[in-house]
Structure 1
Amino acid sequence: MDAKINEQVKNKKQDNLITAEIRYKMTAKGMMITEYYGADTCVVLPDEIEGETVTALDDYAFARNLEVEEIWLPEALKEVGRYAFYRCKNLKKLILGNQLLDMGGGALTGCRLEEVEIYFREGKKSCLKSIVEETRYQIRVSLYGYSWRCCAEKNSTDEWLREVRILFPEHYEEAVENTPARILETHHHGAGGYYRQCFYNRELDYKKYDEMFYHTVAEDTEETAVELALNRLRFPEELSEKNKNVYKTYIREHMETVAAYLVKREDIEGIRFLEQKKLWSEPALQTGMDVAAEGNRTESLSVLMDVRKELFPKKKKTFEL
């Protein structure tokens, strides 16, 4: 299992240019990258340097780098130093393995991270909790790992790459003055704070995560709730039948928003998923086609027309003599 994940990650890295613009040193814990001094927007850090596995990223290694937008960390990284990405204002995406279990204090201070990809070699622990706790903004997370499934042939098994997509909504606090009482009150906004508590022993607690959905419905935008619900239905890791029905009910009741969301992102797989689950309504399909036509999204428009033809075929007119 580890070998297959390593091969997949290495193949993806080969499609990118691994940076040479780094400084490093050997430590008692392994090879450490001490500084990145380049100006690329996408930085792919090496897994090995001089035959030694890279296991650490030093304090302030990327600090104040205003160019970098995406960083692919070494696959066997186990330590990220304090303020490693301090004030990397344009950093939007991190890609890493799950041997890293914690980020150093203030590692993401001054960043506005939007996406995280984590590749799991073994177990379910990762540094995801550490990442989302440092970021108040909305974060889209993709988790990858291998699972076993039974093949049609007796006593035969196969491995397949499992993907899970998870959304962590935004949250922030606001100090509001209570003039009569002469005190400052802290007001909390957004459901993201609840979701950031859905971890146990560095593992994401999916059951607790799903139980927070009513907070999203009450405190976030309709589009945020739609995206979160769609993610859980499409990638139902540890999703109970009860919570599946909650998400499905919400999607059914907000299908026009769902249609606009999928078309704007040209998410053809999402459109087909709802067709497979027979969740489309004719008004929602019409909304989607209108949005697609206005935005000149021809592929989405074509697919939606096919879905309407398949799910809601027109009845042939008959004439009696």
Structure 2
Amino acid sequence: MKIAYREREDGIEIVRLWGTDGNIVVPDQIGGKPVVRADAYAFSGRNDSGNGNGNLSGNGSGNPGRNPGEKSGSSAGPESGVLMWESSDNRMFESGERLLAGDAVESVRFPDSMEEIGRYVFYGCRNLRKLSFSDRLTGIGSGAFTRCRSLSELDVRLNQGSRTCVPDILGDLWQRIDVTFRKGEREIRLVFPEHYEEAVENTPARILFTQHHGSGNNYRQCFYNKEMDYRKYDSLFYSARAQDRVDVIADIIFARLLYPEDLTESAEEEYESYIRSNGAQVAGYLTDTENMKALREMSGRGLWNAETMDQAVDYASKTGRREVLAFLMNEKQRLFPSGRKKYEL
């Protein structure tokens, strides 16, 4: 990987990156200084940010246009103060090198030292799926995630406390986002459903009004002073139950049951009640996704009944999910041993 950067008083500012892999891991240090910032448009396919970033692509091929023998700290491009760094194993990949921007970006992992990302930093990164960072990242530039329609995962390392920039990121995105908070070895997983608005015309009254779809907007309000309020999150389950599909609801439920941070007994009972009432649909979704962890959780919590189990076994048999079917058949025999029906594995 090659990185164009600037040296600032507090550390390194990333300007542009080149490499062969769209799953980008930004180094924590360059030249012994921590990487603390990503410049405006740093990962965007646009080159008209007005700060010279686009000119760094030099020959138009995405190559930064410096001699391979140059070392870290050599100046690069026409913009004053921009230097070039390259990883020690970069030479073997030089022939396939490209500008890591726009559609080339698939995932980005920022180091724990990263504090700020500039405006429109991911503008038009349509294939960006996952972003990983720590709670030290607090500054999010305007329009940072414009047109990032595929972004669906945030992985957040909680090293200093519980405050994060997650609510700022969620506020810019309408699609479903799955968030994982990591506190040491412990994981907390949450699902933030999609939401969108639709303009609907009442022709006789000549009135245009807005309809809201999906519970995602409600769930995005579950932060206080940038800290996650898990109890408020759980209190909004009624909204998801009324507006979202069974697959989304099932993912919300099992994220909370399997990773129960500040989960109250009443919320737990409400989640379990939904599964009991919609067991066949939930089991069908878990079978399609082969989510063995969630299926085992259903058994561990005693959420099966005989009818739901029969339907789940039949569905797993018809769809050819062998691992799921074997598990369900064993559970059926253990929980409801009177059945005689045979299924082909």
Which TM-score tier does this pair reach, normalised by the shorter chain? 0.7 to 0.9
Please state how far the C-alpha of 1:120 moved relative to its aligned partner.
1.0
Kindly indicate whether residue 10 of structure 2 is the aligned counterpart of residue 29 of structure 1.
yes
Map 1:7-46 onto structure 2 (within 5 A).
20-38=1-19, 40-46=21-27
Q: Is the 8 A contact 2:333 2:339 kept in 1?
A: no
TM-aligned CA deviation for residue 181 of structure 1: 4.1
In 2, the alpha carbon distance for the partners of 1:277 and 1:138 equals 27
- % identical aligned pairs: 40
Instruction: Please give the alpha-carbon distance, in whole angstroms, between the structure 2 residues aligned to 1:300 and 1:170.
Output: 29
1:121 aligns with 2:145: no
Q: Identify the match of residue 29 of structure 2 among 48, 65, 86.
A: 48
Q: Residue 285 of structure 1: which of 300, 304, 309 is its match?
A: 309
CA change 1:37–1:207 in 2 (3 A) is same
Q: Does the Cα contact within 8 Å between 1:165 and 1:232 map onto a contact in 2?
A: yes
1:94 corresponds to which of 131, 141, 144: 131
What is the rounded CA distance, in whole Å, between the counterparts of 2:249 and 2:283 in structure 1?
A: 14
Q: Is the 8 A contact 1:102 1:130 kept in 2?
A: no
Query: Would the aligned equivalents of 1:58 and 1:84 in 2 still touch at CA under 8 Å?
Result: yes
Change (3 A) 1:287 1:24: farther
Question: CA deviation digits over 1:55-112, x for unaligned, max 9?
Answer: 1111101112102221111222110111110010011111111111242111110002
Change (3 A) 1:78 1:289: same
Contact 1:39 1:68 in 2 (8 A): no
Kindly report the root-mean-square deviation, in angstroms, between the aligned alpha carbons of the 2 structures.
1.8
Greater Cα shift, 84-93 or 223-232:
223-232
Q: Which deviates the most, 299-308 or 242-251?
A: 299-308
Q: CA 1:29 to 1:294, structure 2 compared with 1: closer, same or farther past 3 Å? A: farther
User: SS of the counterpart of 1:36?
Assistant: strand
Q: Give the TM-score, by structure 2 length.
A: 0.78
Within the candidate set 110, 134, 149, 2:147 is matched to 110
C-alpha separation between the residues in 2 aligned to 1:56 and 1:315?
62
Could you tell me which residue of structure 2 aligns to residue 307 of structure 1?
331
**TM-score of the two chains, using structure 1 as the length reference:** 0.83
Bigger drift between 280-289 and 20-29 goes to 280-289
Q: Give yes or no for the alignment of 1:131 onto 2:169.
A: yes
What's the counterpart of residue 54 of structure 2?
Answer: none
Distance 2:4 2:313 in 1: 52
Match of 2:43 in 1: 62
Distance in 2, Cα, partners of 1:57 & 1:284? 51
| Deviation string, structure 1 residues 21-80 (Cα, Å, up to 9, x no partner) | 321111123111111234523111111111111111111011121022211112221101
Q: Contact between 2:138 and 2:164, CA under 8 Å: does it hold in 1? A: yes
> What secondary structure, in the 3-state scheme, does the structure 1 residue paired with 2:138 have?
coil
Find the counterpart in structure 1 of residue 321 from structure 2: 297
Write out per-residue CA displacement over residues 124-159 of structure 1, whole angstroms, 9 at most, x where no aligned residue: 11111011111100111111113xxxxxxxxxxxxx
Structure 2 counterpart of 1:142, one-letter code: T
One-letter code aligned to 1:34? V
Q: CA deviation at 1:178?
A: 3.2
SS in 2 for 1:66: helix
1:188 aligned partner: 212
Alignment of 1:204-283 (within 5 A): 204-283=228-307
1:234 offset after TM fit, Å?
1.6
Which deviates further from its counterpart, 291-300 or 242-251? 291-300
Cα distance in 2 for partners of 1:285, 1:132 equals: 37
**Aligned residues of 1:39 and 1:67 also touching (Cα < 8 A):** no
Residue 293 of structure 2 aligns with an amino acid whose one-letter code is: E
Higher relative contact order (CA 8 A, sep 6+): 2
Which runs of 5 or more structure 2 residues have no equivalent in the other structure?
A: 46-101, 341-345
Structure of larger gyration radius: 2
User: 5+ residue gaps in structure 1?
Assistant: 1-19, 147-160, 317-321
Matches of 1:300 and 1:251, distance apart in 2: 18
Contact 1:102 1:126 in 2 (8 A): no
Runs of 4+ in 1 over 4 A off after TM superposition: none
1:292–1:42 distance in 2 versus 1, CA, 3 Å = farther
Query: How far apart are the structure 2 equivalents of 1:291 and 1:35?
Result: 50
